[in-house]
């Protein structure tokens, strides 16, 4: 398992009747693979994890494993309220064929330092799958601090962090304290190039769901030291990337997927599809981006 490159946080595709839309999911997945992503993540925030059943997660993981055919790792996100359920999800992920896990702190309870570390360690010690800690205190209210990571690295399968603190200097702090022991993947689209320049290993991306080639191009250009070329694409991309940092990022990114032919607007309740002035405003951003799409 190599935490490196672009890892799309894939949306979950639904039909108009609220069932999984596997053919549309496959279409998007194949576009990601053709663009050169290095792994895929299922059941994240963008994947509407909180409204997926265990059976649907199994279907998605098994289908993605079959479709990717070993080309890239399939990672399942764990976002559970109880430690026992998180342990159960980790075991199921392995059974279904996932290659790794992404883990949020406990849901619906703001755990303290000791509780957070114990939660992560308990799950890590229950599995041999590699784990990426999702550190997003802005949205999930618990920061995984450097002192917590100092304890967590005792678990050899805790190997990466999805860095979503919104503080790019955290990349440098992590590097100074842990070297390459913890791989760092930027989890905020609007800070991705900055974090890559500062040494992040990868990018857990959102707008990649609609614009896979552009996302991968930015990553590759930065890693090749072609900063001017990457900056040109990144500046074009920024109005679109800002759709990733809104509470309705799922609806916004699904609308973008629909506009480029890689998805649909269907979301699962309590989310509702966009309408009225809000939809028109987001649609204008998306269509302006498509009209000015750079030639790669």
Average pLDDT rounded to a whole number, residues 176-200: 98
DSSP 200-226: --EEEESGGGT-HHHHHHHHHHHHTT-
Q: Write down the mean pLDDT value for the chain.
A: 97
> Residue 153 gets which letter from DSSP?
T
Is residue 106 within 8 Å of 81, Cβ to Cβ? yes
| Digit-coded pLDDT (tens) for 121-158 | 999 999 999 999 999 999 999 999 999 999 999 999 99
Is residue 260 within 8 Å of 290, Cβ to Cβ? yes
| Digit-coded pLDDT (tens) for 17-29 | 999 999 999 999 9
Average pLDDT rounded to a whole number, residues 70-79: 97
Separation CA 163–CA 191 (nearest Å): 10
CATH of segment(s) 5-226: 3.20.20.70
Helix (H/G/I), strand (E/B), else coil: 155: coil
pLDDT of residue 63: 98
| Digit-coded pLDDT (tens) for 244-290 | 999 999 999 999 999 999 999 999 999 999 999 999 999 999 999 99
pLDDT of residue 42: 98
């Amino acid at each position: 398992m190599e935490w490196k490159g672009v890892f799309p946080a894939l949306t979950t595709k639904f039909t108009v009747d609220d069932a999984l839309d596997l053919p549309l999911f496959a279409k998007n997945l194949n576009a990601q693979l053709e663009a050169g992503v290095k792994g895929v993540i299922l059941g994240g925030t963008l994947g509407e994890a909180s409204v997926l059943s265990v059976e649907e997660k199994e279907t998605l993981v098994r289908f993605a494993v079959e479709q990717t055919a070993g080309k890239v790792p399939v990672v399942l996100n764990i976002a559970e309220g109880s430690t026992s359920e998180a342990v159960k999800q980790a075991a199921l992920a392995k059974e279904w064929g996932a290659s790794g896990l992404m883990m949020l702190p406990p849901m619906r309870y703001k755990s303290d330092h000791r509780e957070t570390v114990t939660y992560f360690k308990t799950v890590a010690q229950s599995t041999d799958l590699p784990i990426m800690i999702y550190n997003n205190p802005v949205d999930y209210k618990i920061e995984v601090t450097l002192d917590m990571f100092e304890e967590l690295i005792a678990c050899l399968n805790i190997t990466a962090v999805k860095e979503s603190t919104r503080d790019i200097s955290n990349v440098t702090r992590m590097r100074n304290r842990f070297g390459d022991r913890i791989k760092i993947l930027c989890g905020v689209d609007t800070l991705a190039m900055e974090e890559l320049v500062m040494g992040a290993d990868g990018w857990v991306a959102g707008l990649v769901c609609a614009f896979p080639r552009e996302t991968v191009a930015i990553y590759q250009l930065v890693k090749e030291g072609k900063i001017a070329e990457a900056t040109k694409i990144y500046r074009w991309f920024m109005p679109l990337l800002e759709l990733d940092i809104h509470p309705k990022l799922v609806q916004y990114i699904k609308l973008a997927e629909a506009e480029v032919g890689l998805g649909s607007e269907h979301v699962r309740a309590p989310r509702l599809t966009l309408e009225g002035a809000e939809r028109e405003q987001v649609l204008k951003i998306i269509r302006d981006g498509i009209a000015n799409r750079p030639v790669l």
